[in-house]
Amino acid sequence: MSIHIEKLNYVYQSGTPFSHRALTDVSLDIADGSYTAIIGHTGSGKSTLLQHLNGLLKPTAGTLTVAGNKITPETKNKELNELRRHVGFVFQFPEAQLFEETVLKDIAFAPKNFGKSDEEAEDLAAKMAELVGLPASVLQNSPFELSGGQMRRVAIAGVLAMEPQILVLDEPTAGLDPKGRLEMMEMFERLHQQQNLTIILVTHQMNDVANYADHVLVMEEGRLIADSTPQEVFSDPKWLKGHHLGLPQTTAFAAKLADKGVPFKNLPLTEEQLAAQLAELLAGKGDEQHG
Amino acid sequence: MDKMLLGRYINGDSLIHRMDPRGKLFLSFYFIVIVFLCNNWETYVLMTAMVMLFVKLSDISLGFFIKGVRPLIWLILFTVLLQIFFSSGGHVYWHWGPFTVTDSGMINGVFVFCRFVLIIFMSTLLTLTTTPIEISDGLESLLKPLTKIKVPVYEIALMLSIALRFVPTLMDETTKIMNAQRARGVNFGEGNLIKQIKSVIPLLIPLFVSSFNRAEDLATAMEARGYHGGEGRTKYRKQEWKRNDTIAVILFVVLTIALVVLRK
């Protein structure tokens, strides 16, 4: 279920005095089963780009092909329904979308909309609740009785219950405590690994980008200014700074060490990589001393 | 929803923008009242000329105002057609069952059309050149006299300014929740009536819930900042009555006199 975008342009309220250009000539490819992170300053067009992926917005110009469905400016709204079942979309603060009387019904809502029978949908919902770590005891509670973190889980389970092939996450861990954040990111990573889900993540957490993503897109003022791997993007701290972006903590630390003369082969992104490189360097040093 | 123009504010620094909001509010209401004084061609031409003068003075293109009329065009046409087909008197051109087309009916239709457009232009002018906060401040001081008969004017103004402040926030929230539910397979505005009404539930409930939460947070935050009600507060924004405002009032007095003289 790959994504192919060609010369995508989007103008808000086009043709009115309030018209505002949000995306300019964005072209990109996202491979099947990849983990793509989209980063960029607030207002750089990240969310606008995301909303194209399941047809919530249609391009003003250009085309995109998502999971075999082609979307052009002329595409009819009716045709987009087919697309939406393939693309699960977790919005920022998704707990705002809960409305049913019980947690179980809320999770089962999306599969029912896409044609599953009540029974199938509720079985699926129970499974998804377990997957996101909700205790079975809350399934018959009202979603509004839960804590913020649990509501977030219910909302995410509600999206996963659609059994999407592409999962779009718009800052899924914003406002969560560190433990909740880690648990959630690990859960997405598990889904990515086990079910070969294509994940597209918008985030301001460079650590998450370094730890999980294998493909990075950098947006600035509605344009795509970089399309490569995390290794590549984070190898040039000066360029990042120029575009108001930061480094992952580990890379920042390694960059400081490099300034002091530690000869890294390439800047490490994760703690494991840093540890491995340091161990290697120390081992090398040890050999020199002995030899 | 983003095509809506009524209630929008356009930043500017024209003569009209700089007017005292109290004066603007009062004169806009007054204008709507005196539109009903018009009953012949001369008076309508005079009023239209006045409105065009104000539009010119506001430095906002005429296109904006025409867009403001657009959402109401069906209501206007409906009223105009009622006037044309159901008035009696004057020369009869056409007659069928209860429908009659007469020359006085047609003239009345045109007048009703003009009246609608003039009123919409004037209220659009008010909202395009006045920030919501100025409007609620202006209303508060215009309603001040009502405190004498125990109307809680301060509370009304507070509610109004909070309501106005949260209109865009709620609109954003609505769009956001609508999108989230669309992504979960809800089709808004499709299917038969019952289906459409049902599809509103996943939108309305979250909106109500978030409004309750928002109200609670806002009340807590206000209390924490020492809010105890309207009694004994001072004002941050001062409204100033300037020479231009006096000139505008005089202009309207002259206009009223002219209308009374010209009408039959």
Per residue in B128-163, pLDDT tens? Answer: 888 888 888 888 889 989 989 998 888 888 888 888
- Give the global pTM: 0.78
- Measured in degrees and rounded to the nearest 5, phi and psi for residue B167 equal -60, -55
| Residues B173, A96: C-beta atoms closer than 8 Å | yes
Domain boundaries, chain A: 3-230, 248-290
- Per-residue pLDDT tens over the stretch B185-236: 898 888 888 888 888 999 999 999 999 999 999 999 999 999 988 778 888 8
Q: In angstroms, what separates the C-alpha of A139 from chain B's closest C-alpha?
A: 19
Interface test with A, best of B65, B177, B179, B184 (most A CBs within 10 A): B184
Cβ pair A91:B176 closer than 8 A: yes
Please list every residue in chain B whose beta carbon sits closer than 8 Å to the beta carbon of residue A51.
179
Contacts 24+ apart (CB under 8 A), A39-43: A39/A202, A39/A203, A39/A204, A39/A206, A39/A209, A39/A216, A39/A217, A39/A218, A39/A219, A39/A245, A40/A218, A40/A219, A40/A220, A40/A243, A40/A245, A41/A219, A41/A220, A41/A243, A41/A244, A41/A245
Residue A99 CB partners (closer than 8 Å, separation 6+): A106, A143, B201, B202, B205, B206, B209
Bridge partners of residue B234, in order along the sequence? none
Give the integer Cα–Cα distance in Å for A72 and A66. 11
> What's the DSSP call for residue A21?
E
Total CB pairs under 8 A between chain A and B: 63
Q: Which of A17, A85, A99 sits opposite B64 (nearest CB)?
A: A17
Q: Within 13 A of B22's CA, how many CA atoms are on the CB side?
A: 13
User: Which of B64, B185, B190 is the closest to A110 by Cβ?
Assistant: B185
What average pLDDT does range B32-50 have in this prediction?
A: 90
Letter string b/e over residues B21-39, b meaning 16 or more CB atoms within 10 A of that residue's CB: bbbbbbbbebbeebbeebe
Residue A46 and residue A53 in contact, taking contact as beta carbons nearer than 8 Å: no
pLDDT tens digits, one per residue of A122-180:
999 999 999 888 999 999 999 999 988 899 999 999 999 999 999 999 999 998 889 88
Of the candidates B180, B202, B199, B201, the residue with the CA atom closest to the CA atom of residue B191: B199
Length of chain B: 264
Nearest CA in chain A to B204: A99
Residues of A in contact with B181 (CB under 8 A): 97
Phi and psi (nearest 5°) for B245? -65, -40
Q: Identify whether the C-beta of residue B128 lies closer than 8 Å to the C-beta of residue B113.
A: no
Which residues in chain B have Cβ-Cβ distances shorter than 8 Å to A110? 184-185
pLDDT value of residue A227? 94
Closest partner residue to B206 (CB to CB) among A13, A98, A110 is A98
Neighbours of A142 (CB within 10 A): 14
pLDDT of B5: 53
**Looking at the partner chain, which of A89, A94, A99 has a beta carbon nearest the beta carbon of B205?**
A99
pLDDT at B171 over 50: yes
User: How far apart (Å, rounded) are the C-alpha atoms in residues B242 and A255?
Assistant: 62
Question: What are the chain A neighbours of B2 within 8 Å (beta carbons)?
Answer: 12-13, 16, 18
Residue among B169, B92, B102, B162 at smallest CA distance from B133: B162
Lowest mean pLDDT among A221-235, B40-54, B100-114, B166-180: B100-114
d(Cα A136, Cα A138) in Å, to the nearest integer?
6
Query: Which residue does chain A place closest to B200, by CA atoms?
Result: A99
Identify the CATH homologous superfamily for domain A3-230. Answer: P-loop containing nucleotide triphosphate hydrolases (3.40.50.300)
DSSP designation for B239: P
pLDDT in tens, A199-249: 999 999 999 999 999 999 999 999 999 999 999 999 888 899 899 898 999
If you measure CA to CA, which chain B residue comes closest to A167? B183
* Nearest beta carbon to residue B180 from set A13, A94, A113: A94
**Residues contacting residue B182 through CB under 8 Å, at least 6 positions apart:** A56, A84, B188
Cα separation, B264 vs B255, whole angstroms: 16
